[in-house]
Amino acid sequence: MVNQELEQILQRISDAEQYRDANYAELWEDCYRRYRSRVRERREGSNIFVPQTFMQCEVIKARISESLFASRPYIAVLPREGKDTEQAQKLQTLLDWQLNERMDLTRIIGEQVADSVIIYGTGIVYTTWQVKKRRIKSWSRLGNTPLKRVQESEQVLWDDPVVSPIPLADFFVDREADSIERARYCGHKEYRTRAQLQALCDSGAYNIDWRMLQPYDGGRGDAFAAAGGAADFADGDENALYLVHHYWQDDRHVVIVNRELCACDEENPFWHGQKPYDKCCYVQLPEQFYGMGVPEILAGLQDELNTGRNQRIDYNSLALRRMWKLRKGCGLTARDLVWRQNGVLSVENMDDVQEINIQDIPAAAFVNEGNIKQDMQDVTGCQDIIMGLSYQRETATTTMTRDNNASLRFKVIVTAMVKDMLVPVARKCVSLDQQFMSEKRAMRLLNAPAAELFEISPDEVAGSFDLMYCGTAIDALANKELNKERALQAYSLALRDSAYQQDQPARLRLFRRVLEALEIKDADALLPEAALAEPQLPAADIGGTGAGGAPAAAALAGGLRALLGKRQTAAVKGGGNR
């Protein structure tokens, strides 16, 4: 790359960073301050910051994470041709293993990225392939003798896709773009040690002339270097840090070290031909790349809540520190009015000293705080029912209806995270598997219960597949309880149907579905399998119209309904498994 072209790319990066910092740096800092419940300026008197914004953010994050990752697998791989069905199933298992056992996507997206989306309004992830090796020591036996020796070997620790959350302050994008796909260029910065960069040079990915570089000293006002982070190690030390910028276009990837040396200039190394970034917004603003987060939405109401709380505290403090009126010439001073144990004031006239009475704080001051909190809940949709709170004398059906209505607000953000981040990340991981997977793999899903060991080869991941989200329903608790109630109703109707009364295997299959809806583990072990081998009983003895049949069926359905009622009551009072 010629110097003129390098300067042009550096100028684009600088312009994008300046535009980002000028328009969003102060806003993001204020959002983080509100999330941490920190006051902006100290004032005389009370300085309470009511942590209502923090509570709303954490409840919303828990709700989103529960909705996205309540059940596995999260992503279904569907074949486009009938002959690829078995390959699609194996690829789905491989993808499930990588997203969970390798990358821990529930932590990356459900916690780190979700925090960025909720607090700052935007979350960004970077998906690439990583190979990590390490020399390890182990014991080896000398032939058939009991003697052992220590040997060293190189072990592959990681040879899979990797998904990394990118801090917004480290990401830059074309100022005219409103999405990753429409951006003419974008990228991010990171800090790499000399050893890490040298490993990339040894693999042939980078080309660095170390004589032209020094550990990054923040020559352009970098905050990290200004804090002393770049000066911890001297030049030549393998742990010395260098600033690395990744500049991406759809068909190009450029790596710049310390804003002065081009270490890599290549075509897009990935077969999918896209920029390896994905982003999601909490509230997508029209024609804007960055979205709006919860602290920004609640800023005015949070300030009003803080002001009212501090005013009440100041008023109570004023009422406790009483004021007095002294008649001139009475001989008393302000020092005489300081409270002391068993203190006595000598006056000639009882009117020489009078207390200035302060009225009690009006009850309307407390009602106003409740109205503010209700306004904050209405704005975000994070109602009391979402936080696991319910009103007294409220039926389970009413609670579930309110929960479903409140969940409508969360469907939008959950759907956005599925379409804008979870599925695109999975699609990139599949493409990377098809590109870089070079040998047969053996793995095991550590789910509950743990799956058996399975193998997959590079040939079995090849092909064209469709990906779709197949996690849990977005309505978490309410729909589960509603499905349980419907399952019991269906079983009660089946007990009264003559066809089910005469077909005991069909009735047992329906009963298995009821146990599964009640989330009872090992449902097959609880079924009376011996009854399948016995002769069919008359309808009167199964629960039809005969003596004792209807009461027995009603008792069974009533017992299950009572069990469901207890579980619903516990879920409503305790907030369920949110």
pLDDT of residue 220: 46
Residue 218 has pLDDT above 70, yes or no: no
Distance CA 289, CA 286 (A): 9
Residues 359-397: pLDDT tens digits?
A: 777 777 777 888 899 899 888 888 776 666 655 566 666
pLDDT of residue 542: 38
Adjacent-strand bridge partners of 76:
468
CB 168 within 8 A of CB 120: yes
Mean pLDDT of 29-54: 94
- What's the Cα-to-Cα distance from 130 to each of 148, 200, 320, rounded to whole Å? 34, 11, 65
Residue 226 has pLDDT above 80, yes or no: no
pLDDT of residue 538: 44
Highest average pLDDT, of 10-19, 42-51, 140-149, 510-519, comes from 10-19
- CA 492 vs. chain centroid, Å, equals 40
pTM attached to this predicted model? 0.77
- Sign, Cα dihedral of 463, 464, 470, 474: positive
- Sign, Cα dihedral of 412, 414, 415, 420: positive
State the pLDDT confidence band at 575, using cuts at 50, 70 and 90. very low
Residue 478 has pLDDT above 60, yes or no: no
Q: Where are the alpha helices (DSSP H) in 381-502?
A: 396-417, 423-436, 477-496, 498-502
Closest C-alpha among 172, 121, 166 to residue 18:
172
Residues 130-166: pLDDT tens digits?
A: 988 888 888 887 777 777 888 888 888 889 999 999 9
Residues 229-275: pLDDT tens digits?
A: 555 677 678 889 999 999 999 999 999 999 999 999 999 999 999 99
pLDDT of residue 540: 41
pLDDT of residue 568: 46
pLDDT of residue 404: 64
Residues 189-209: pLDDT tens digits?
A: 999 999 999 999 998 999 999
User: What does 63-124 look like in DSSP terms, one character per residue?
Assistant: HHHHHHHSSS-SEEEEESSGGGHHHHHHHHHHHHHIIIIIT-HHHIIIIIIHHHHHHHSEEE
State the pLDDT confidence band at 181, using cuts at 50, 70 and 90. very high
Give, in degrees to the nearest 5, the angle at Cα 150 between 145 and 156: 120
- Sign, Cα dihedral of 223, 224, 229, 230: negative
